Structure 1
Amino acid sequence: MRYPKTKDLQEIWDRAEAHLKKGLPFVLYRKPDEKEIFGVFQSNSALHHSKDFTEKGFIFAPFDSENNVILIQPDEVWEGTVRAENLQATPAISLDESGKEAHIDLVRSGIKEIEKGRLQKVVLSRKIEVPISKSPIKIFKTLLNTYPTAFGYLFHHPKVGTWCGATPETLMKVKDKKLLTMSLAATLPYVANEKPNWGSKEIEEQQMVSEYIGDKLAHTMERLEIDDAESVKAGNLWHLRSEVRGNMLPNLKVSEVIRALHPTPAVCGIPTDEAARFIQANENYQRTFYTGFLGELNLKGQGELSLFVNLRCMQLDNDKAFVFVGGGITEASDPESEWVETQNKSKTMLGIL
């Protein structure tokens, strides 16, 4: 195994800056609630893919294709410690109402499809374009400071693009054949000193996700435990989350577990195939890596993975950023409220910019 080299934080920023200038692939990331930042640097601009999740490196996978999982080769792995910096207060964000009618129409179509009995839930999203003047490294530093409990990352590949995010959702962690994942659904805005007041729509939505994950994993595990739902804060939002733990069957391949879990009902819907078809036909843009997954692949040892769902993320393109937001639609959804939910979610990334 190639142990990470310990580096001063400034050296890590400088190396990432140099890779950006030279057009070389790299990723910087920090795991939830941790102080360590890791840099995985590839020494040439070749585009590598993971075929079966047995390779070593950092993977970046799109929403809808298992054959197109990008792999950054770990030619060098660096590690440093992030120091929390004092943040200036985030200025009030003025939200743009353009796109409202289109999104409400999309949600209405989703509800109609659910009423026909083809779907129980579908996750519908939109893309927001905003001008930027900050560099990717600066955006990433702000993001790390603002969301210490999320998986924060900055990914760059000259043939793929530059992405940055702070996701609250684990896809899966595996070590010694022990699996840890989560069922995450439902959203309410965070209000200081107030506990979230969940309605039946949110509770049912989260329960639906837990049951679906249980069904999907049942045949792959020797033992499976799903905890009760609890409220968790992610940035300026509340979610409902249940921890899921299991022991993988001895001959099970990691790729089979990934296939069972991705895309999760939290980013696609139930049943997954039907929901994915509806999304492709109706969303009017390509998600590419939004709602895909990313993370460490066998870097610390064969069969050890730490993968996260690519939520609360943006694509950076010179002087523009594309921010992605969505929400879970069920029969009980109200189109106007769903628009407000995406507006609330957009503040997570817009506040960073």
Structure 2
Amino acid sequence: MPYQKNKDFHKLLEKVDSCLENDYPFSIYRKPLESKVFGVFQSNDELNITTDFEDKGFVFAPFDLNDNAVLIHADEVLEVFFEKEGTTDDIKTFTNDSGKYNHLKLVEKGINKIGSGALTKVVLSRKIAVKLSRSPKEIFISLLSNYPNAFCYLFFHPKVGIWCGATPETLVRIAGGELETMSLAATLPIKENSSPNWGSKEIEEQKMVSDYIKEKLVHSLEEFNMGKAESIVAGDLWHLKSDIKGKLSATAQIKDIITSLHPTPAVCGIPTSAAKAFIVQNESYKRTYYTGFLGELNLNKEREMNLFVNLRCMEISDQNASIFVGGGITSASNPEREWSETQNKSKTMLNII
């Protein structure tokens, strides 16, 4: 019998079952540190795209915007409360060692490219194929219960597929003419009773991202304020984060802001075009929606959005899942340590399934 306080939430999941059965697109999600779960539902199976980001609904955008950002029309929007049922899952430490040799070689190639002067930073990733033992709904509930400070979501479109995740990174939030974003970079595993010991590589990587965002946004803002870099927890990992706030100028265009921020140096590299080209040419798979972005687009008012970078995510097909992990490569990178970083990141999804 469903937990009584989550009665409406389980009704929402029944609607999700109906949509999956009838091939109707939807996204259900919870924002960080909130108790409400939202559902955006489309009443047909059409594949809608948004290019100017003036549309209303839930956007699901790829790493490469040339591949088009999918929009779920908000034909119905539901809002319910979710309360964790019972205790948090007993998460086991689980990793997958497949693909290590190839990833080490990829990182070495990236370091050599940086050494040649063509790049300052490049984010390199890999895909992990695993068998599922849980349904998408069960995975979503587990994400909600275990990662309260992440944006947790379950997305479906019959022409795109099923994706879910628990991402720690905001791309941009705009409301009332005010903009908020973050500079998030660097990763260390959490050790019991110990604070993170950031090295020069991690500190420099986070500074690169901060400087890049400031350069990209300063022309669209009347005011620009960046907070100090602070250590934050996301799942079982430490990251360095700086909060960024500003006031939009009267001439600022939403599309320009999104395209200037995406892809961020935290998921692509510096300079963006050269890093993106290196990624496309050298990663052994196509990222599609991994390291893209997703979230509310003009759902309540025009020129309002709440978008997140699609990290710590998986693509689900039948009883299989593809999990995606990566890390920022700089001149100070060490291939073995970069492999370990992707292993640590992979636990967010691997330990849930």
Shorter chain as normaliser: what TM range?
A: over 0.9
Find the residue that maps to 1:185 and give its secondary structure: strand
Partner of 1:322: 322
Q: Using the alignment, how far apart are the partners of 1:306 and 1:300 within structure 2?
A: 11
Shift of 1:91: 2.8
TM superposition score normalised by structure 1: 0.97
Q: Give, as a single letter, the amino acid of the residue that structure 1 aligns with 2:271.
A: P
Q: Give, as a single letter, the amino acid of the residue that structure 2 aligns with 1:138.
A: E
Shift of 1:163: 0.2
Taking the TM superposition and a 5 Å limit, the aligned residue runs for 1:191-210 are 191-210=191-210
Shift of 1:167: 0.3
Q: Using the alignment, how far apart are the partners of 1:28 and 1:278 within structure 2?
A: 34
Partner of 2:130: 130
Q: Using the alignment, how far apart are the partners of 2:153 and 2:71 within structure 1?
A: 15
TM superposition score normalised by structure 2: 0.97
Shift of 1:66: 4.5
Note if 1:293 corresponds to 2:305. no
Find the residue that maps to 2:106 and give its secondary structure: helix
Partner of 1:89: 90
Q: Using the alignment, how far apart are the partners of 2:240 and 2:133 within structure 1?
A: 35
Partner of 1:41: 41
Find the residue that maps to 2:240 and give its secondary structure: strand
Partner of 2:282: 282
Q: Using the alignment, how far apart are the partners of 1:88 and 1:170 within structure 2?
A: 25
Taking the TM superposition and a 5 Å limit, the aligned residue runs for 1:103-182 are 103-182=103-182
Aligned residues: 347
| Contact preservation (8 Å) 2:123, 2:269 | yes
Shift in CA distance, 247/7, structure 1 to aligned 2, threshold 3 Å: farther
Q: Using the alignment, how far apart are the partners of 1:295 and 1:77 within structure 2?
A: 13
Q: Give, as a single letter, the amino acid of the residue that structure 1 aligns with 2:216.
A: K
Q: Give, as a single letter, the amino acid of the residue that structure 1 aligns with 2:13.
A: W
Q: Using the alignment, how far apart are the partners of 2:13 and 2:96 within structure 1?
A: 33
Q: Using the alignment, how far apart are the partners of 2:309 and 2:199 within structure 1?
A: 25
Partner of 1:71: 71
Shift in CA distance, 66/301, structure 1 to aligned 2, threshold 3 Å: farther
| Contact preservation (8 Å) 1:51, 1:67 | no
Find the residue that maps to 2:202 and give its secondary structure: helix
Q: Using the alignment, how far apart are the partners of 1:174 and 1:307 within structure 2?
A: 9
Shift of 1:179: 0.6
Shift of 1:223: 1.3
Q: Using the alignment, how far apart are the partners of 1:208 and 1:99 within structure 2?
A: 29
Q: Give, as a single letter, the amino acid of the residue that structure 1 aligns with 2:63.
A: F
Q: Using the alignment, how far apart are the partners of 2:168 and 2:88 within structure 1?
A: 21
| Contact preservation (8 Å) 1:7, 1:79 | no
Q: Using the alignment, how far apart are the partners of 2:26 and 2:180 within structure 1?
A: 27
Alpha-carbon deviations, 1:51-77, whole Å to 9, x = none? Answer: 211110000000012461100011100
Alpha-carbon deviations, 1:239-285, whole Å to 9, x = none? Answer: 00000111111021110100110000000000111000000000010
| Contact preservation (8 Å) 1:176, 1:304 | yes
Partner of 1:59: 59
Q: Using the alignment, how far apart are the partners of 1:38 and 1:148 within structure 2?
A: 15
Q: Give, as a single letter, the amino acid of the residue that structure 1 aligns with 2:21.
A: K
Shift in CA distance, 225/106, structure 1 to aligned 2, threshold 3 Å: same
Partner of 2:3: none
Shift of 1:92: 3.5
Q: Give, as a single letter, the amino acid of the residue that structure 2 aligns with 1:17.
A: D
Shift of 1:137: 0.5
Q: Using the alignment, how far apart are the partners of 1:92 and 1:222 within structure 2?
A: 47
Find the residue that maps to 2:65 and give its secondary structure: coil
Alpha-carbon deviations, 1:22-41, whole Å to 9, x = none? Answer: 11100000000000000001
Unpaired stretches in structure 1, ≥5 consecutive residues: 1-5
Shift of 1:336: 0.6
| Contact preservation (8 Å) 2:89, 2:142 | no
Shift of 1:7: 8.2
| Contact preservation (8 Å) 2:220, 2:251 | no
Find the residue that maps to 1:107 and give its secondary structure: helix
Partner of 2:50: 50
Q: Using the alignment, how far apart are the partners of 1:267 and 1:300 within structure 2?
A: 29
Alpha-carbon deviations, 1:318-349, whole Å to 9, x = none? Answer: 11000000000000000010001101110010
In percent, how many aligned pairs have the same letter? 55
Q: Give, as a single letter, the amino acid of the residue that structure 1 aligns with 2:14.
A: D
Shift in CA distance, 71/7, structure 1 to aligned 2, threshold 3 Å: farther
Q: Using the alignment, how far apart are the partners of 1:88 and 1:188 within structure 2?
A: 22
Q: CA RMSD in A?
A: 1.1
Partner of 1:3: none
